Structures are given as C-alpha cells and as structure tokens.
Amino acid sequence: MPESRALDVVIVGAGFAGMYMLHRTRELGLSAIVFEAGSDVGGTWYWNRYPGARCDIESMEYSYGFDEDLQQEWEWTERYASQPEILRYADHVADRFGLRPHMRFDTRVTSATFDEAATCWTVRTDAGDEVSAQFVIMATGCLSSANMPVIDGAESFAGETYHTGQWPHEGVDFTGKRVGVIGTGSSGVQSIPVIAEQAAELVVFQRTPAYTVPARNGPLDPDERAKIKAEYSTFRATNRQMPAAFGSRLPASDRSALEVDAEERRAEYEYRWQKGLGLAFIGAFNDVLISPESNESAAEFVRSKIRDIVPDPEVARKLTPHQVIGCKRLCLDTGYYETFNRPNVELVDLRDTPIEAITPTGIRTTEGEHELDCIVYATGFDAMTGALLRIDIRGRDGLPLQEAWAAGPRTYLGLGVAGFPNLFTITGPGSPSVLTNMMVSIEQHVNWIADCMDHLRRQGHRTIEASEPAQDLWVEIVNAMAGITLFPTCNSWYLGANVPGKTRVFMPFVGFPMYAEKCTQVAQDGYEGFVLSG
C-alpha cells in the first residue's frame, strides 16, 4: 500500500547514514520513514558486491561508535572487513535497533517539493507514495550513482555486462570465460586479482594507472581487538582528532619529506608499505599532499615497487602512474600489480590504444579487437552529487536543485542549501565526507542534524535554512582549503572530472577536526549562518 501520511521526517537511503539518522530521529520521538531503492539496508555495501570488495579503512574504525554495547558485542574478524561482513554488520544494526519496520525498500524517491504555504515537503516515490514531512534528510551516499561510460556500440555486445557498483546478488562465475575489465580505480584494483584467478583470460582496459599499496589484510589479532575495545570511546575520540578521522594508532607525522635524507624517507615509506598501513601511506610526511617535491618522493617509491614486482618492462611501464599520488584516492590491494605477471592477464593501455567501439563480440581498440564473453565496468560513480541530482528536488519558488547547482554544488557546511529549508544532506558536498572515515563523518552529521531538529522543536521554530552569504563564504573556504593541497591537480571524482560534462569543482572539505569544530561552534552560536523562522 502506498504511503500518504504526514510525518515529521523523511529519510532517503538506508545505508549507514540513513540507519543512524532513523535511530536518532526515533529517539527524539519524531515520526519518520526511510525510503530505500535497494531491497535491504547497507547502501554502498548492499550494491557493491563485486569480487574482492573490501573496506579501505580498518574494521575496528569503520563501525559505529554511538552505542557502547553495540561496539562491544560486534566481533570483526579481519583487519580490513570484506563487503559480506560489513553487510552482516548493517543487518545486525537494523535488527538490534528495530529499524526495518520504519523502512520502505524497493522504493526510489523521485521528487521532493517544498510547499511554502504549509512549510513542509512533499516527497513522492516510484512506488506511488506521497508523503508530507517537515524535514527531508538525504542519506543518499556519496558513491551510489553508477558512472556508465558512453561507448559506441555498447548495447550491441552479445555477452554479459556488469558494473561493480550494481553487482548481481547471486554472484558471477567467470570460470572458463574471457573477461574484460574497464577501469582501474579501487573497484578495479580489488576485483582484478580475484577475477584473474577464475577467468580463462582477463583483459584489463586501463585509462589512468593506479597507485596502490598492499593491504596486508588478515585475521584480526584477538589481543589487539580486546585492547581497542577496552577503551573504545577514547580510541574513537583520538581518531576524530586526526586530519581524516582515522589512523590514530600511528601519530600524524610532523615532518616534511624534504626535511630528511633519501635513506630515511625511503625507510618511512617502506615501513608503511610493509605494515599495510593503507591510506596512511600518504601520511608518512606532513606535506605529501601539499608539496609537489614531497609528493614525488612518495610516488617514486611506489613506482620503484612496481618495477620490482613486474619483471616485464613494458607491462611495468604501462602500470606506472605519473600523476600526483593521493590526488585520486589511493587504492589498497591484495596482489594487484602481481596479477599482471600471470599468463592469462593482458593489460591494454588506453592512452596508447583508445577504445574505438564495443562490438557484439568484444572491445575494439585502435590496435584491434579483444574477443570477450563478459565486460565488467569498474568505472566508478557520479560522486557526491549524482544521487541527489537524480531526484527532482525543488525548494523555495519551485527552484530545482539542478538549477541551484548548475555551476557545481553550493552548500553551507555540506549540511544545508540556501533556498531549500529543512532539507539536510548527510555527508553532502562541502563536508569532509569521502576524505575521511565515512562512519565518523556520518555520525558527526547525524548528531548535528538530530540536535538541530530538537533545537528547532524546543524553540518553536518551523524552518531552518542556510543563508546565501554564509553559503557563499563556505564555498570559498572549501575551495581555499583544497587550493592549499595538490588535490585539484588531477581529473579525480573529488572534482567531478570523471563524469563527462560535470562541472569541475572540488567537492569535499579538507580537514575533519577543524570542520567538526566549526559545526559545533555554529550550533552553539544559535545556528549562525542559518536563518531560523516560524
């Protein structure tokens, strides 16, 4: 039966953001519904079931910290959790906090329209629901709208095609198959070694070579796990003080890479490479993402590893990246570069030989045709704004969000948008989100939004809305922060540069602790920069 109720809150998305938002909303005694396009909870981890899918933040950190009993009872088994284990965790949380009765699955929100006279939103779905609510909270995820490249002849392919972000639930058996993978970001880097072991032949179509460091994943040491659990809340609090809200067991470096000699530099990179410290490889020195020379020293270290691992000089050359390391998100792998030493794996460098077309039997580059039974698109996402702009969101005076963001997303704190009262975005553009441990950013945003709704109720306000001047200034600050770093130097999805036609704007805010402090201050100052009314 389609819903036609009047509620306090509509939440869009049942990933980790939507789940916790629902929990907090219900704790406040507000009525709420979650609409979710998938058939169950989990968000990113519901959709990304490709072989080898795994989190690149350690499992003891990539989990909720809001409930002491929850964090004590859940036992992660691996250092970096696999997709199935994270999905089991999401399932456990949904059961434990009784969330599912308030969720509508297989239901995609199609529009949200602000009604000025009634000061409420009307939310419609593809299942015929029409719900009105005082607040709409977008928990739509940063990496949830698949990026499918437009390639000539793609529809003519007679074999099977898959996108890593929309993987079949029953899994895919590549045994005996000739498989082509397009894309070598995190999803390609994680899936390629696993597919290579199963497939008869694997052809990897690479446009930009990836920097990746070994995850050195393995079972979690029970002593280490117990040690963290013994002081979990302190551990979480220390992580929140880290620039990207994770990795506090390794103190942030206070040295420039240029301050030490070549031997010491190499030793530091080697230590992090051997220990499997993952994204913290970039944190070896405090200026790897700021100084081009420092960055080059880290990049060159990884390049030397590629030369060591891959004996064929031509393959090694093709695999070697030359962009700034960390500019595109660093990948964590298990045997990625080694995979290209296998006799059943071929690497096609699309910079030398671009794709001309997809044919009924394979992929044709300028060099000839590769015959394939399956094509895997590991081509990423329309990140951060894709899922929001797919919904027809209309604010004051019927202004479409698509129009308000025509020149790139504009928000205040990544939480609110001028002209769109009572609409919140969890980990929206303009907040640290994808540059951090997402679980920490999600909790920080959900707590802020819940406190804000509570404040409005208590003070008798009906609406809250970002002011234009505060938003303009915030957009400038986000850009200025990015400008200090090397992030804007490559065509990354942080900039929207991976999607043809998307406006090139650096979307996340660099630096979690400073951001979180600003949000707290804004709330303490009576939601400074927002207009409260009614």
List of residues contacting ligand NA7 (CB under 6 A): 143, 149, 164, 182-188, 207-208, 329, 350, 378-380, 491, 493, 498
Judged by CB, which is closer to ligand NA7: 93, or 438?
A: 438
Kindly give the pairing relationship between strand 178-182 and strand 201-206: parallel
In the numeric block, which tokens belong to residue 482? 């990015």
The count of other CB atoms within 10 Å of the CB of residue 211 is 25
- Tell me if residue 189 falls in helix, strand or coil: helix
Question: Closest distance between ligand NA7 and the C-beta of residue 19, in Å?
Answer: 19
Amino acid at 383: A
Question: Closest distance between ligand NA7 and the C-beta of residue 491, in Å?
Answer: 6
Judged by CB, which is closer to ligand NA7: 148, or 523?
A: 148
Judge contact between 456 and 168, C-beta under 8 A.
no
Question: Closest distance between ligand NA7 and the C-beta of residue 50, in Å?
Answer: 9
Judged by CB, which is closer to ligand NA7: 309, or 497?
A: 497
Ordered DSSP codes for 354-411: -EEEEETTEEEETTEEEE-SEEEE---B-TTTHHHHTSEEE-GGG-BHHHHTTTS---
- Tell me if residue 90 falls in helix, strand or coil: helix
Question: Closest distance between ligand NA7 and the C-beta of residue 237, in Å?
Answer: 24
Judged by CB, which is closer to ligand NA7: 103, or 143?
A: 143
CA–CA separation, 247 and 237 (whole Å): 11
Residue 41: C-alpha distances to residues 186, 189, 228, 446 (Å): 23, 26, 27, 17
Of 451, 446, 450, 439, the C-alpha closest to 65 is: 439
Question: Closest distance between ligand NA7 and the C-beta of residue 101, in Å?
Answer: 31
The count of other CB atoms within 10 Å of the CB of residue 270 is 13
The count of other CB atoms within 10 Å of the CB of residue 434 is 19
Judged by CB, which is closer to ligand NA7: 122, or 492?
A: 492
Judged by CB, which is closer to ligand NA7: 165, or 511?
A: 165
Kindly give the pairing relationship between strand 392-394 and strand 109-115: parallel
Question: Closest distance between ligand NA7 and the C-beta of residue 284, in Å?
Answer: 20
Question: Closest distance between ligand NA7 and the C-beta of residue 57, in Å?
Answer: 10
Judged by CB, which is closer to ligand NA7: 120, or 319?
A: 319
